[in-house]
Structure formats: C-alpha cells, structure tokens
A and B are shown apart, each in its own frame.
Chain A
Amino acid sequence: MKFWLSLVLMTLTLPALAGTAADDIRISDPRVREMPPTVKTSAGFLTMENHGTVDHALVGAESPWCGHVELHTHIHDNGVMRMRPVEKMPVPAGGVTKLQPGGLHLMLMELKRPLRAGEKMPITLIFEDGSRKSIEAPVRRFEQMSGMKMPMMHHEMGMPMGGKH
C-alpha cells in the first residue's frame, strides 16, 4: 500500500519537476528600439535559452506600454524583406533562439507614448504552456542596437540590384 501511494505521488510530482517553460527559459540581452516620436510601432529583441529537457515555444507577449505585441519574423527573399507574423517562436530543449534585427522580433504596436532611450519597458512573455515571464527591456537608440543579420545575397539577385564591390 505504501509503495503504491508513493508511486502515485511520484507520478503526480514528475511534471512539476520538469518545470514550466518560464522556469526553463533564461532570457538575456533584452532591448527595445527607440523610434522617432511620430511612430507608434517599435521592435523588441532578446535571446531565449532553454535549460530544460523539453521543447518550449514563445507564443505571445504583452506590455502595459503598448496596445499589443505580435510575434514577427522577416523573410529575406532575393533582397526583399517580407515582414510576417508568426504563431510561435520555438526554443528546443538545450537550444537558443535569438530575436534580432532583420529576423525574429517582438512587434510592439500602438505604443501609448514615445519610447525614450534609457527607459526600461516592462514586457511579459507568454509560453506554450501558459506560463509567463516578466522582463524589463532597456530602450536603446539606433546607434546602440546591434547590426542587422543579413544573408549574403550577391549571387542570387533576381533583380538588377547587384552591388558594386
């Protein structure tokens, strides 16, 4: 009897040991782009490291500073940048997913007021299991943002856009 009881208890506590996505995922280098005051949209970037043993995914985000946040990516298509919403950003077990200029980003929409460099924007990240993680992302001017990740496109240009090097 005791044996069975402990087995049941163990089974019940196992999922808790695995941890929620919010527990497993470590966030580093969060940052938000300062934009000219007339612009009501901006972009947020960060790095997600999954220290757990199961795959996770970022499925949403919100902030009291803006109307809503969408998950977006950029598709580089022969020199054309196509920005598109994505449903989730997977972070495989033991893996790293980077949100960075020119790629995955948090699209911060309907900003309630202009973002100013030096401020820290509160953002709540929402994961696939419903767990949440609150972070503060420093607002940075364009000079302080890291460069864009652009694929080398010299040899695949469909249009007469070839650079002179």
Chain B
Amino acid sequence: MKRPALWLLFLAVAALAAGGYWWLHNRPAAGPYPGMGGDFTLKSARGPVSLSDFRGKVVALYFGYTSCPDVCPTSLGALAAALRGLTPEELAQVQPIFVSVDPERDTPEKLAEYARYFHPSLIGLTGPLPKLKEIAHRYGAYFRKAPVTGSLGYAVDHSSVIYLIDRRGVLVDMIQHSDSPQVIRARLRKVLGEA
C-alpha cells in the first residue's frame, strides 16, 4: 500500500505552502529598525483593531495609561496639536493610536472617551497584559507597574515615544521628545511624503 506515504507527502507540501504564505505576509519588512515593530491586534470599544487595518495610512502609535497625569497628556496633546496643523488631505492619511498598558484600570470604553478628548481621529486600544508586553517589547517600548506609597496604589513607569509606521506597516521613525507639535508634524509629513 502506497496510500499513507502519498498522504504524508501531500500534508508536507500543504504545510510548506501554508508556512510560505505566512512568511510572505508576516515577515518583518525592512526598515531603519530591522526586526522591530510589526502587526498586532488589540481591543477597542468597537471591537478588535489590527495595525494591518491601516495599511495605506501612516500610523502614529503611543503607549501610555489614562491615570498618567502629566507625561501622557503632554505627549498626546502635542500629537493632537501636530495633527490639527495638517491639511484635511494629510489628516485623512494618518491614523493615531493610543495603546493603554494599564488594562486593569483602562477599559476600551474608558479609552475611547479619553482618546476622543485629544483628537477625533485618535483611537484607544488595550488587551491582555502578556500581549501588551509582547507588543511593547517588539517596539522597544518599556513599561512596568511600580508600587508607590500613597493612595495611587501603583504608577506605571514607561517610556514616552511616538512611533511612526509607514503605509506598508513598517516602523520608520521614533519621536523621543514628543513635546513639540512642530517636530511631530514635520516628521509625520516626511513619512507621508514617502511612497
């Protein structure tokens, strides 16, 4: 009987094809930060959202948490001001995303309202902690729950960087000093200008 062998061969070919397909669609594309960034899926108040939903748009991504009283609102405020300075045509090609790394306190509903306050096109996403850690790690973002004295219970130590992702989904820029709307706007325009 040659039948089992034939089936095995068929399975092997199918597995290879599936693997190849996956590789073609998920391999990290080359950019200035090889091996960093990449796709993710998280929860919004309206359901799951993937980074790949925004292919064709430039994404500005920021990790933070809503009870952050200073650094996050300053950075998001600067991002919002940068977006307000874009033309309507440019704005239509940009998707700003706020990812909360504090899912314990930030629900998708709370995030939706928080994001809307800064800019109508800003969306708020979160998800299970291990998943957030994995995504943050890929982007080089750092966050850690830190117990503090006082009634806050805990603060979240975090890096404050705006990540720019181009139309192909490739991480192309990181804005460290996210305090100047002019700088953010200029660098957004640069990515918008790239094919």
Contact = CB atoms under 8 A, between A and B. Distances in A.
Contacts of B113: 36-38
A5 B87 CA distance: 79
A147 B111 CA distance: 24
Nearest to A83: B155
B101 to A, nearest CB: 12
Interface string B76-103: 1110110000000000000000000000
Contacts, number: 128
A143 B81 CA distance: 7
Contact of B74 (A37, A70, A142): A142
A124 to B, nearest CB: 18
Nearest 10 Cβ contacts at the A-B interface: A142-B77, A36-B117, A43-B69, A148-B179, A147-B179, A163-B176, A82-B157, A83-B155, A36-B114, A43-B70
Interface stretch (B4-12, B125-133, B144-152): B144-152
A152 B73 CA distance: 20
Interface residues of B, number: 45
Residue of A67, A74, A110, A154 contacting most chain B CB atoms (<10 Å): A74
Given A79-B142, A82-B155, A85-B150, A40 B67 contact: yes
A81 B161 CA distance: 11
A92 interface: no
A50 interface: no
Interface of B: 32-33, 36, 66-71, 73-78, 80-81, 110, 113-114, 116-118, 140, 142, 146, 148-152, 155, 157-161, 172-177, 179-180
23 contacts: A33-B70, A38-B110, A70-B152, A79-B161, A79-B176, A80-B158, A81-B71, A82-B157, A83-B155, A85-B148, A109-B152, A142-B76, A142-B118, A145-B74, A147-B78, A148-B70, A150-B176, A153-B176, A160-B33, A161-B161, A163-B176, A163-B177, A164-B173
Given A142-B77, A143-B81, A81 B159 contact: yes
Interface in A4-62: 33, 35-43
B71 A147 contact: no
B67 A161 contact: no
A161 B174 contact: yes
B74 A160 contact: no
